Amino acid sequence: MSSQEHPSVTNFRNYIRINTVQPNPDYASCTEFLRGQAEELGAACQVIECVPGKPNVIMTLVGDDPTLPSFLLNSHTDVVPVFPEHWKYDPFSAHKDGEGNIYGRGTQDMKSVGIQYLEALKRLKKDGHKFLRTIHLTFVPDEEVSGGNGMGRLVETKVFREMNVGLGLDEGYSSTDNKMLVFYGERSSKAVKIKCSGQPGHGSQFLPNTAGEKLRKIINTFLDYREQQQQKLRDNPRLSLGDVTTINLTSLEGGVQPNVVPSELYVGFDVRVPPSELDHFETMVAGWCKEAGHGVSYVFDEKALDSKEMTCAEDGKNPWWDAFSDACKKENIELEKGIFPAGTDSHYVRKLGIDVLGFSPMNNTPRLLHDHNEYLNEKVFLRGIDIYATIIPALANVKSF
């Protein structure tokens, strides 16, 4: 460690160096590291494996009134794969350049936030702060592969029910301007596979009712809707990506040999749907398939979870939101509210009727989650600790309502 490096930055870099990349994350080393963090914080710590080899690390600071609903700080420990040949530095070296940019997989998504929680709480405890509500920190596995074996299973346990969570904070992502983003809901992933059946035969003929004709209609309809949604986003500067439906063609299957017209062809789309559009989206797909002709059917990915639930983020209507918003104002943060465009562990918690806000205090920062050369500047990281040191007591001391 440099004699001039802030200890919190050193702690962050040490966390980045633990290789928790999918599909073979080193959860054992990560858990050992987090146990040490809990001891330093003076928090009770338990490790729950709902699925063998998938540890959920839970730290707890008991509040003055543990009967009140608790406050949850959630982060995930795994990170997405890397392609080292495209990186300036080893993605698990936590290299810091001369400008203070810390390179490493997970610097933005989302090991920074996990350490910011911890460092803010260490500071608050050192300064003698007391909390009305119990605070839980959860460090969960496998978020980057849908979270089903992590938070998805944890929320089903007696342990989680007894945590009595009233509000959770989870991840957001960086803002490229001076604002900071906060998310009160997220889009649903509605991956859909469509089967087109038709008349098979020799490729030398004008056969009627072929699978290919139906496939063309389906592809055109889906991509026309994609263009409509993209244009909607272009035309309205008040909208963000989370407010529209994205559609991308991701797979094509079928065919026997070049001179045979196949009886079946398949096309797959990745679709992300805002909560406000979810109820009628499947009806719309059913209509598109019917219009394409007889023998066209669809199936949605069973692993995908709908995310209809949203947290109220209107002033004066939700005490949790008011406390969060007021704390951000004290830190001179200009918030931009929205729907998270991808999926996080938040939807598992919101499905239980628990409020969750997605927030990662990173502004004026390139959005590099899942990208090559992911980095976070140490000044932005340290500023995030200051912000959580204001937000955490504001939320943990919300009086009963």
Q: In sequence order, which residues have a C-beta less than 8 Å from that of residue 329 and are 6 or more positions away?
A: none
Asked if residues 215 and 267 have their Cβ atoms less than 8 Å apart, the reply is yes
Helix (H) or strand (E) holding 224: helix 211-235
Across the beta sheet with 70-76, the strand order is 44-51, 54-61, 135-140, 70-76, 165-170, 355-359, 180-186, 335-340
Q: Which of 77, 76, 73 is nearest to 29 (CA)?
A: 77
By 3-state DSSP, what share of the chain in percent is helix, strand and coil, each rounded to 5? 35, 25, 40
DSSP state of 178: S
Q: Which of 261, 262, 267 is nearest to 247 (CA)?
A: 267
Q: 202 is written with which tokens?
A: 């020799």
Residue 78 is a catalytic residue: yes
Asked if residues 393 and 130 have their Cβ atoms less than 8 Å apart, the reply is no
Asked if residues 45 and 118 have their Cβ atoms less than 8 Å apart, the reply is no
Other C-beta atoms closer than 10 Å to the C-beta of 37 total: 23
Pairing of β 44-51 and β 54-61: antiparallel
Number of residues in the chain:
401
Which position among 78, 119, 142, 345 bears the catalytic label?
78
State yes or no: cis peptide before 110, omega within 30 of 0.
Answer: yes
Phi/psi of residue 249, nearest 5 degrees: -70, 125
Residue 109 is a catalytic residue: no
Which position among 109, 119, 142, 143 bears the catalytic label?
143
State yes or no: cis peptide before 284, omega within 30 of 0.
Answer: no
Spell 289-315 as b/e; 16+ CB within 10 A means b.
beebbebbebebeeebbbbebbbebee
Active site residues: 78, 143
